[in-house]
Every structure is written in C-alpha cells, then in structure tokens.
Amino acid sequence: MTITFFGTSAGKPTKQRNLSAIALRYEQKNEWYLIDCGEATQHQIMKSDYRLGKLTKIFITHLHGDHCYGLPGLLSSRIMENISTPLEIYGPKGIKEYLENIKKLTKIKLLDYTEIIEICDKSDSTSCHEDNGTKFNFDTFDVEVISLDHGITTFAYCFFEHISNGSIDVKGLESIGIMSGKIYGDLKKGKTVLLNDGTKIEPKEFLLEPIRGRRVIIAGDNCKPDILGDRLNNLDLLVHEATFTQEVFENLEEKVKHTTAKQLAIAAQNGGVKNLIATHISPRYIKNPAKLQNDINLLDKEIEKYFKGNYFIANDFDAFLLDRKSFELKKL
C-alpha cells in the first residue's frame, strides 16, 4: 500500500508545507482514500497522479480547520467534473452540519453522490445521536476508530487489512507441467483437481501461505500517543503528529494538546511500533532558521534518540510503500 502526504503543516500553511491530508491506496484496489482535507488539498491532488474520480472514502480526524477546510472545495470540484462515484465521508459529529450549512448557503449541489457517516465519540455520551459504531468493515480491510486526546473530538483511524488467501504456487505447478488457468482457479477456490492421467492435485499442496494483513494507524492531533495502547504492539506503521520538539513545547506560553517528537518516539518505542512517520509539523520548523531551536533537523534528532525502528519525518508529496509481504516501509 502507498501512503502519500499532501500536507504536513500544523495550523497554517507555509511555503513548503500545506495542511493535513494523506492519501492511502492499497495496490489491490482501484480506488484511494483520503485522511483529512485541509484547505487546498484539491490543489495538491491536482499536482499528483491521484484523481478525484477514484476517491471513494474520506476520513476526517477532527473539525479543526487545518484538517477539514478543504472539504467544500474538493466536493464542489467533484460536482463540476461530473463525478458520480459514490463517496463516503467519515468524521466526528458536526461534520454533517458543517457541510450541509455550506451547501445551503452557497446553493450548489455539494453533496450529490456523497454519504456522510458521523462517528460517536464514546468518551462523550451526548456527542452522537446516530447509531454508528466505531468499527467499519470493508471488503479487504476494517477501520477501527479510536478517540484521542486533543480538547475537541478527534480520532485515529486504524486500517487493519484482512488476511489474504494464499496465492497459487504457479512455479510449483509449472514444474509439473500444469499451465491451465482453469486448474489454477479451481485450486484457488479449494477444489481438488483430477488430471486426465488420473493424478489428483490437492489445493493445499499448491497454495502458498496466507498473508496476514498490514496494520496501519493514521492518527489525528493528539497529546497522548500512549492512548493507542496495545494497538501499537508490532504495528506495521504509525502515522502520528509531532508538532513540536520537547524544548520548544516546554517553553510555549500557552499549553496546547499536541505531541512532541520525544513523546512520540518514546510511545512508539515502548509500544512496539515497527515503522513510524511523524507529520503535522509546526510552521516554525524550517531549514537554517534564524533561531537554532527552530531547526527542522532537531525533530529528526529527537526521534532518532528515542525510537529504534524505521522512521521518517513527512514532507509534502512524500510517498511511502508498505510492502505487502515483507511489511517493510520505504520512501518512494
């Protein structure tokens, strides 16, 4: 699967970083999903090889503007491009009112072919009046929704891919002279095949091992990465905010509910995460800043110090491949 960052800035855009938006694509599916949609996400998509017509699900982590102000424009462009692919939008309670108000006032067909699914925040029994659960089952993966700690209802979305049936051992079958697509298909379905010469071929002899699904968590803003608990254990990929370095955070005049690079690295290390991508970087961090404490490299060093797995700090348009078999993460 591929994870592409359309925006990696916290709060407001900079010349280098746009606001939160992440594309997720499973190689076996001819569609893609968007997690968060800050202002100008449609502009970033336009610069990439992703197309709005193949976007079928949007997951919004929370309703702060830097994560959702790009939704109305993206939906509006869908309508103007006559896209009629069904689109599902998942998000916290309030997202429906947000989009329906805008639709009403701007008097355009903003929500055609679109379904909005509001999610309960279980920590707040009054926050949801719809009977949506916190787990969604799709054909090849499930999405579990975890409430985070950010002062406003905020979610992490856990993309847990289903185990895939073992594929056919084509090389093995070819080595005994069997090249027929029909036989391959029957074996894949679990049928015993009787050859013309009377030989019986049992499926279990020529099916490779099933492959476990990839487990990926993409979290919204959050000041307690530990809240993800056991789900971090052997997690193939955690994408999580690291808005500040520890030093800058400790000197902030007003405390904010964000995670530091150090806190994220420690939580990922203790939890047992295999691959980590830090994003949602405060606009203060740049290359060669006037104040040394705002050097983007300090975030990197802080993670390196406390996390021993494979990690990256995301930049806009960075794309990562999480391999289906090796479960290794590499930057494309």
Exactly one of 36, 66, 121, 316 is catalytic; name it.
66
Give the residue, chosen from 48, 84, 106, 165, that forms a contact with a second copy under the rule CB under 8 A: 106
Give the residue, chosen from 4, 22, 24, 64, that forms a contact with a second copy under the rule CB under 8 A: 64
C-alpha–C-alpha distance, residues 183 and 201, integer Å: 9
C-alpha–C-alpha distance, residues 106 and 80, integer Å: 14
Query: Which residues inside 11-50 make contact with a second copy, applying CB under 8 A?
Result: 11-15, 18-19, 39-40, 42-43, 46-47
Scanning 7-15, 22-30, 264-272, 284-292 for contacts with a second copy by CB under 8 A, the matching segment is: 7-15
Reference 172, options 209, 132, 139, 142; nearest CA is 209
Report if residue 63 touches a second copy, rule: CB under 8 A.
yes
Residue 47 beta carbon to a second copy: minimum distance, rounded to whole angstroms: 7
Using CB under 8 A, count the residues that bind a second copy. Answer: 37
Phi/psi at 124 (nearest 5 deg)?
A: -130, 100
Residue 123 and residue 149 in contact, taking contact as beta carbons nearer than 8 Å = no
Give the residue, chosen from 66, 118, 221, 236, that forms a contact with a second copy under the rule CB under 8 A: 66
Report if residue 101 touches a second copy, rule: CB under 8 A.
yes
C-alpha–C-alpha distance, residues 281 and 11, integer Å: 9
Scanning 65-73, 158-166, 173-181, 307-315 for contacts with a second copy by CB under 8 A, the matching segment is: 65-73
Residue 119 and residue 92 in contact, taking contact as beta carbons nearer than 8 Å = yes
Report if residue 315 touches a second copy, rule: CB under 8 A.
no
Tokens of 84: 């009629």
Report if residue 203 touches a second copy, rule: CB under 8 A.
no
Scanning 72-80, 121-129, 254-262, 322-330 for contacts with a second copy by CB under 8 A, the matching segment is: 72-80
C-alpha–C-alpha distance, residues 221 and 19, integer Å: 12
DSSP letters along 37-106, please? --TTHHHHHHTSS--GGGEEEEE----SHHHHTTHHHHHHHHHHTT--S-EEEEEETTHHHHHHHHHHHH
- The set of catalytic residues is 66
Which spans of this chain sit near a second copy (rule: CB under 8 A)? Answer: 11-15, 18-19, 39-40, 42-43, 46-47, 63-66, 68-70, 72-73, 76-77, 80-81, 94, 97-98, 101-102, 105-108, 110, 152
